[in-house]
Amino acid sequence: MDEPNMSNVELLSERINRIKPSPSMAAKALVDKLRADGRDIIDFTIGEPDLPTPQHIVDAAVVALRAGDTRYTASSGTPALRKAIATKLARDNGLTYTAENIVVGSGGKHVIFHAFAVTLNPGDEVIIHAPYWVSYPDMVVVNDGTPVIVAGDEASGFKLSPEELEAAITPRTKWLILNTPNNPTGAVYTEDELIALGKVLERHPHVWVMSDEIYEHFVYGGAQHISPVLAIPAIKERSLLINGASKGYSMTGWRLGYGAGPTVLVNAISKLISQTTTCPSSISQAAAIAAFLGSQDAPRNAGRVFEQRGKLMADLLKDARGVSVRPPTGAFYVYPSVAGLIGKTTPAGHILKSDLDVVNYFTESAGVATLDGSAYGVGPYLRFSFATAELAIRDGCSRIVEACLALK
């Protein structure tokens, strides 16, 4: 088509120019392109389960479709789904909410975005511990907030300490984001660690807590998922618990997530949804009722499958010279240090200066796609997803071992 004769500066808002595209979505696009060009690529960038949506959930969607359940719903979600979510939160997380405390969106990401949009004024600060899910800072920035990044490190298991939290809080702090199990490190906070953070939060009643628990079903090696909202009762009236169907029930494409919190907040989110997307898909909502109230075998089994794959990936990567990996405790990612590769020279004569150079080297020379830790706020690390078939894990890791051996 004919393109308008106008520069991006004239057309696009200052708001959109503040942010960048999601690096993980950009990596997915690159993998798709390389594959379309005929390259044999093993994809460890994937942020979604490779398992199918369980049959009883698909069946519930088909029943809804056949029954003509194909119209707009309430913008906060159907009463039946909001009730089902309240039941799930009591059953799995020991938390009491009513349907009025719940807002359903088109994915957890959608709810997080809307929560920032309805609460942030220019200059309001959001504390984000690094490494973090790539979308948090951009969602804050596009909604006029200021991300306050607290740099985490491996020595502390990539977990926020009470001292770091205390030092990051100012009178402008609006939110603290807690993400357990964590993307990208797989860190899972223990109850004691949460209680210690809670003591700090009790001293600062103006700080709201966004508790992102989207990976709750994936905890390994005896680790347990405990909702921060349960561990720190004092924050319940100033927190938004985020979760959804995407990861636990292999439903990423259905776009169904929710927030649970005080009505003043969920009503504001719902008001904004009524003016943006109107409501989540009616069919996905019907399916999600089956997910949350039906058999919980699928998330349990997925947890067991991912635990084996995570162990396998960590074991295989131990043989990669210059890569230092810990077994994951949650989510479906390992986050190894590649400090040992920085400064090495590739067979083509390039010096690896950053973790992004390492990502490019592995993609180009080994046909293995990963993500750079710098995009998640802490380098030089790589994020490897093990939400992929065992065969691909074996093949991909042996290619990485070879590629590391080829460095001088």
Ligand X SMILES: Cc1ncc(COP(=O)(O)O)c(C=O)c1O
Q: Please say which residue, 246 or 270, places its beta carbon nearer to ligand X.
A: 246
Q: Please say which residue, 210 or 290, places its beta carbon nearer to ligand X.
A: 210
Q: Which amino acid is at 163?
A: E
Q: Please say which residue, 57 or 320, places its beta carbon nearer to ligand X.
A: 57
Cα distance between residue 393 and residue 390, in whole Å:
5
Task: State the nearest-atom distance from the C-beta of 115 to ligand X, in Å.
Answer: 12
Q: Please say which residue, 266 or 316, places its beta carbon nearer to ligand X.
A: 266
Write out the two tokens for 217: 């079903």
* DSSP code string of 94-137: -----GGGEEEESSHHHHHHHHHHHH--TT-EEEEEES--THHH
Contact of 127 with 173, CB cutoff 8 Å: yes
Q: Is residue 180 at the binding interface for ligand X, with CB under 6 A as the rule? A: no
Q: Is residue 47 at the binding interface for ligand X, with CB under 6 A as the rule? A: yes
Write out the two tokens for 295: 């058999």
Task: State the nearest-atom distance from the C-beta of 392 to ligand X, in Å.
Answer: 20
Contact of 78 with 71, CB cutoff 8 Å: no
Whether the ω angle into residue 233 lies within 30 degrees of 0, i.e. cis, is: no
Residue of 41, 81, 214, 323 interacting with ligand X (CB under 6 A): 214
Q: Is residue 373 at the binding interface for ligand X, with CB under 6 A as the rule? A: no
Contacting range for ligand X; rule: CB under 6 A; set: 66-74, 107-115, 193-201, 357-365 = 107-115
Residue of 252, 277, 354, 365 interacting with ligand X (CB under 6 A): 252
Q: Is residue 75 at the binding interface for ligand X, with CB under 6 A as the rule? A: no
Task: State the nearest-atom distance from the C-beta of 111 to ligand X, in Å.
Answer: 8
Start-to-end C-alpha separation, the chain? 49
Contacting range for ligand X; rule: CB under 6 A; set: 34-42, 106-114, 232-240, 344-352 = 106-114
| Positions 120 through 139 that interact with ligand X (CB under 6 A) | 133
Q: Is residue 179 at the binding interface for ligand X, with CB under 6 A as the rule? A: yes
Q: Are strands 146-151 and 125-130 parallel, antiparallel or unpaired?
A: parallel
By CB under 6 A, the count of residues binding ligand X is 13
* DSSP code string of 223-266: -----HHHH-GGGGGGEEEEEESTTTTT-GGG--EEEE--HHHH
Contacting range for ligand X; rule: CB under 6 A; set: 3-11, 101-109, 170-178, 335-343 = 101-109
* DSSP code string of 170-221: -TTEEEEEEESS-TTT-----HHHHHHHHHHHHH-TT-EEEEE-TTTT-B-T
Of 377, 321, 351, 389, nearest to 148 (Cα)?
377
Task: State the nearest-atom distance from the C-beta of 136 to ligand X, in Å.
Answer: 8
CA distances from 308 to 19, 224, 273, 303, 384 (A): 37, 17, 39, 9, 15
Task: State the nearest-atom distance from the C-beta of 385 to ligand X, in Å.
Answer: 10
Task: State the nearest-atom distance from the C-beta of 71 to ligand X, in Å.
Answer: 23
Q: Which residues pair with 351 in a beta bridge?
A: 345
Whether the ω angle into residue 181 lies within 30 degrees of 0, i.e. cis, is: yes
Residue of 73, 76, 183, 285 interacting with ligand X (CB under 6 A): 183
Q: Is residue 109 at the binding interface for ligand X, with CB under 6 A as the rule? A: yes
Residue of 257, 280, 322, 396 interacting with ligand X (CB under 6 A): 257
Q: Is residue 108 at the binding interface for ligand X, with CB under 6 A as the rule? A: yes
Q: Is residue 244 at the binding interface for ligand X, with CB under 6 A as the rule? A: yes
Q: Are strands 125-130 and 173-179 parallel, antiparallel or unpaired?
A: parallel
Q: Which amino acid is at 173?
A: T
Q: Please say which residue, 219 or 320, places its beta carbon nearer to ligand X.
A: 219
Residue whose C-beta lies closest to ligand X: 107
Task: State the nearest-atom distance from the C-beta of 261 to ligand X, in Å.
Answer: 16
Of 183, 195, 263, nearest to 23 (Cα)?
183
Q: Is residue 23 at the binding interface for ligand X, with CB under 6 A as the rule? A: no
Task: State the nearest-atom distance from the C-beta of 113 to ligand X, in Å.
Answer: 9
Contact of 305 with 51, CB cutoff 8 Å: yes
Which residues of this protein are in contact with ligand X, per CB under 6 A?
47, 107-109, 133, 179, 183, 212, 214, 244, 246, 252, 257
